[in-house]
């Protein structure tokens, strides 16, 4: 729906309140943009931290879910690496009993050895 088709809603607001409505919409837009910026800059807290719930609220305000979900989440970390180093890092993770997670944050099944 085209936002200009909703302009009749503004005509229902008395003239003396239109400035307040505009200020409210601008403030709300600023708040959502600020939440999005902070969500990108602040690292997630460790699991069980007292900052987990405020971070979840920040994530909801920022709209960081579904297709816009960030790579890092509460209690998880990631290592950015090149494809050439990925195999070596997998071996190190398995040796140190670090679970490898898939894109949904669930543990990956162990790789099967190649058999001819």
Encode pLDDT of 16-64 as tens digits: 999 999 899 899 989 988 988 888 888 888 888 899 899 888 888 887 6
d(CA 51, CA 32): 19
In the chain, alpha helices (H): 7-11, 15-41, 52-62, 83-95
Per-residue model confidence (pLDDT) at position 24 = 93
Q: Are 82 and 90 in contact (CB under 8 A)?
A: no
Per-residue model confidence (pLDDT) at position 48 = 84
Mention every residue, 6+ apart, whose C-beta is less than 8 A from residue 70. Answer: 39, 40, 59, 64
Encode pLDDT of 53-101 as tens digits: 998 888 888 876 665 666 555 555 666 667 788 788 888 888 888 877 7
Burial of 40 (0-12, 13-18, 19+ CB in 10 A): exposed
pLDDT at 114 over 60: no
């Amino acid at each position: 729906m085209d936002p200009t088709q909703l302009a009749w809603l503004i005509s229902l607001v008395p003239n003396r309140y239109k400035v307040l409505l505009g200020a409210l919409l601008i403030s709300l837009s600023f708040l959502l943009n600020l939440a999005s910026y902070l969500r990108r800059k602040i690292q997630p807290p460790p699991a069980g931290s007292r900052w987990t719930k405020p971070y979840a609220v920040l994530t909801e305000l920022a709209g960081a879910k579904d297709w816009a979900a960030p790579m890092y989440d509460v209690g998880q970390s990631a290592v950015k690496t090149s494809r050439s180093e990925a195999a070596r890092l997998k071996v190190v993770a398995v040796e140190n009993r670090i679970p490898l997670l898939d894109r949904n944050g669930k543990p990956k099944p162990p790789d099967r050895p190649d058999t001819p």
